[in-house]
A and B are shown apart, each in its own frame.
Chain A
Amino acid sequence: MYFLDFEKPIAELESKIEELRHLSDADGLNIAEEVGRLQVKVDKQLKGVYAKLTPWQKTQVARHPNRPHCIDYLKALFTDVTPLAGDRVFGEDRAIIGGLARFRGQGVVVVGQEKGDDTETRLRHNFGMAMPEGYRKVCKLLDLADRFQLPVLTLVDTAGAYPGVSAEERGQAEAIARSIDACLDLRAPLVSCVIGEGGSGGAIAIAAGNTVMMLEHSIYSVISPEGCASILWRSGGMAQQAAEALRLTAQDLLEFKIIDEVIAEPMGGAHRDRAAVFASVGDAFERHLRELGTLDGATLRQKRREKFLRMGREGLA
């Protein structure tokens, strides 16, 4: 397990527990009481630390290397997953994966951003930073969903769309714009969940949904704290301040009515109990799909558009 800076005291306690367990194995001593006492202490600390994470700490948790990624959710929550590659124009971009699948028995289109878990998979998925091909693949999949009346579930986890020469050459901006356009044009339910990082245009490109949810310790922002700091403070080192100023936590977004629901994470974050987080995300998806399932395509589209039209309007005098 990888430990973040602010988790160091917890890490120490846990290694102590581990040591004790080895001791008891070797010497046959009964130290269950001591282990239990330490475990209580760990739980208390975890609860304490995670109850009041700062925006910058949440950013770190959202990017935690052990945090479950898109593929983990695909494996846990879906059956008959049939990935459909390519944008039919230029290529296949593995930063975005998607295709047909069954979610608790129901046929759906699923789309998500995958960051990868080790060097090899990170490179294969380009660290979850999509090229224009990725967004054009989304358009292809949304078109399928529209024509075959399949609900769409999206899993958002990206630092942002890839900033590079080839991406610009092939129209990164246009590809994102069309992907947002396709989301807002879809005549089928669209439910999105930010499972880690919701990085700017690259995230909203697959997250303009009827219902948008966020995991408790995920973030969603117009720009990364580092990027914001380097522009407005002219120093990348001010990322902590930028994270505070940007109001990028799930709780902030719920307050601004940008998202509809915050899904609670297991104590100590999604990476500490994957099964629990898969279950909560699955249940939330199911609940929203059931609600939206009663509406026809045109109503779904209209409601989705009205929802986004309202955003920010309340603050205008």
Chain B
Amino acid sequence: MNWLTNLVRPKIRNLVPKKDVPENLWVKCPSCEHMLFRKDVEKSSMVCSRCGHHMRLPARKRLEMLFDGGNYTEIQLPVPAPDPLKFKDLKKYPDRLKDAQTKTGEKDALIVAHGWLAGMPVVVAAFNFDFMGGSMGVAVGEGLVQAAEVAVQQRAALIVIPASGGARMQEGILSLMQMARSTVAVQRVREARLPYIVLLTDPTTGGVTASFAMLGDVTLSEPGAVIGFAGARVIENTIRQKLPEGFQRAEYLRDHGMVDLVVHRKDIKSTIARIISIMTHRDAPSELAPAYLSTVEETDSPLPLPPPGDPEAAARADGRPADPSDEVSEDDEGPEDPTQHGDK
């Protein structure tokens, strides 16, 4: 504007040495907006210590968390299809792909790896939401097919972790066909009688939800994850009403019978390990303490073993609740009246 702002101000600024504050020392929780110390949040696997919000994780972080010692062998996936439709919206598809590749350092939205989980062979396919919204095109479909093939070859369980907005529009009808393709992948694992575990994370929507993600032998979800078929905005435009509280959240899906278990991030590995070990007739993983249901109501996360010497623990260890009142719901309605059953 004038010499004061253009010349003098920068000069004054240069006189005062800038304090060296790393930009990413603090993280703002996207849910409660609390400022969190980055190191602390990283230690708790990006779960907000204040409100428990589970922040999104890149695919590699997921692999590190699941595989023993964070060690895994990545399966090299084929390079993405070279723009089969010659698709162009405001930007050309190859340019969008290149941007996403630069931003994430990955070739496409899916990473597939094999290795050991609590000493058991597993194949994990994890989505990167940062890569074009985790959208499923031919390359992602191919990754799922290969993941299933490796699982069958190695007699390993297949774990898929979607984080995806759905089909990749830029690949048009070819992306829609990945719904059928990924379903065939699931069928191969199923027919080999190997466990297929789905861990739904924020967000899982559209064509991804409406195919392999809803076909798990066991469907787990992280707390608060948005899971659904149609986007909330589309639904709001259709019904022209406000959506119900907690709509399309993991807990909502569980309460409507669509998700087996909502699991806190810190318990995911142990929960998956327990499930696979039982499904495949293995002994309980030695590094995991047996888990017990705390109350009848609290079935979300198996709790760790109570400290030794706890009298209740001994009673529970043989499968019986220590106190019969454990089986009564918190509503405390007293003994159930048999006449209350039936149609109301």
Contacts and interface: CB of A to CB of B under 8 A. Distances in A.
A176 B230 CA distance: 12
Given A177-B212, A201-B210, A305-B184, A163 B229 contact: yes
Contact of A222 (B79, B175, B248): B175
A170 interface: yes
A313 B181 CA distance: 10
B189 interface: no
Interface string B249-291: 0000000111000000000000000000000000000000000
Interface stretch (B18-26, B81-89, B308-316): B81-89
Interface stretch (B232-240, B295-303, B332-340): B232-240
Given A173-B213, A200-B176, A221-B173, A184 B187 contact: yes
A191 B144 CA distance: 26
Contacts of A223: 167, 169
B141 interface: yes
Contact of A168 (B82, B169, B171, B235): B235
Interface in A157-212: 161, 163-165, 167-174, 176-178, 180-181, 183-185, 200-201, 204-205, 208
A258 interface: yes
A204 B172 contact: no
Contact of A201 (B79, B82, B207): B207
Contacts of A171: 214, 256-258
A228 B93 CA distance: 14
Nearest to B215: A177
B221 interface: no
B256 A170 contact: yes
Contacts of B239: 164-165
A26 interface: no
Given A165-B239, A223-B167, A312-B84, A177 B211 contact: yes
A31 interface: no
B82 to A, nearest CB: 7
A312 B186 CA distance: 18
B173 A258 contact: yes
B174 interface: yes
Contact of A233 (B89, B183, B184, B247): B89
A38 B194 CA distance: 69
A96 interface: no
Interface residues of B, number: 60
A231 B169 contact: yes
A51 interface: no
A163 B234 contact: yes
Nearest to A161: B229
Given A164-B235, A165-B244, A256-B174, A316 B139 contact: yes
A309 B145 contact: yes
Contacts of A168: 228-230, 235, 247-248
A317 interface: yes
Interface in A277-317: 305, 308-309, 311-313, 315-317
Contacts of B137: 312
A66 B238 CA distance: 25
Contacts of A248: 172-173
B127 to A, nearest CB: 16
Contacts of A200: 167, 176, 207
Contact of A308 (B88, B167, B184, B256): B184
Contacts of B234: 163, 227
Contact of B184 (A161, A174, A309): A309
A165 B88 contact: no
B4 interface: no
Interface in B140-157: 141-142, 145
A53 interface: no
B243 interface: yes
Interface string B75-118: 00011111011011110000000000000000000000000000
B187 A305 contact: yes
A172 B173 contact: no
Interface of B: 78-82, 84-85, 87-90, 137-139, 141-142, 145, 167, 169, 171-181, 183-184, 186-187, 206-207, 209-215, 227-231, 234-235, 238-239, 241, 243-244, 247-248, 256-258
- A-B pairs with lowest CB-CB distance, top 6: A163-B230, A312-B138, A315-B81, A173-B209, A232-B89, A316-B78
12 contacts: A163-B235, A163-B238, A173-B213, A177-B210, A177-B213, A201-B210, A204-B177, A204-B179, A228-B89, A309-B184, A311-B174, A316-B79
Given A180-B179, A204-B176, A221-B176, 8 more contacts: A164-B239, A171-B257, A173-B258, A176-B210, A180-B211, A201-B206, A245-B88, A309-B181
